Amino acid sequence: MDRHTPMHALPEEIQKMLPEDKVCKYCGVSYLILHEFKAMEEKVKAMEKEMKFYQGSVEREKGLQEKIKSLSQDLEQYKIDNKSKTERIYDVGMQLKSQQNEFQKVKKQLSHLQDELKIKYRQSNIFRLCFCL
C-alpha cells in the first residue's frame, strides 16, 4: 500500500479544532480522514513493534523456563552423585584407617620378631662358641 505523505502539516487552527468540528454532521466521516488515517498507521506500527517485543518475550521466557527445568534436574542429579561420592569417600576413609591400624599391628609384630631374631642370633653365636671350645 502506497502512503501519501502530505507536503505541509495541517494548519494549527485545524489541529486545535474539536473532533466533532472535523466530522460531517450528516454522515459522520472526518474531513481530515487522511490525517487521521496517517495517525492510525503510526499507532498500528507502534503496536506491531510492541507485539513483536512481547512475542519475543514470551518465547524467551519459555526458553528460560525450559533451561531452569533442565538445570534443576541437573542439580538434583549432582546432589545424588555428591551424596554417593561422599558416602564412598567415607567408606574408603574407614578402610584406610583400618588398613593403617592393621599396618601398625604388623609393624609391631615385625619389630618384635626382629628383636627375637636378634636374641636367637646372639644365643646361637654363644652356643657355637661354647660348642667350639
In the predicted structure, residue 3 carries a pLDDT above the cut 80: no
Over residues 9-26, the pLDDT tens digits come to 777 887 788 878 777 777
The whole-angstrom separation of Cα 23 and Cα 31 is 5
> Which runs of consecutive H residues, i.e. helices, occur in the chain?
12-15, 33-132
Q: Residue 127: what pLDDT?
A: 76
Over residues 24-53, the pLDDT tens digits come to 777 777 766 766 777 888 999 999 998 888
In the predicted structure, residue 103 carries a pLDDT above the cut 70: yes
pTM for the predicted model, two decimal places: 0.47
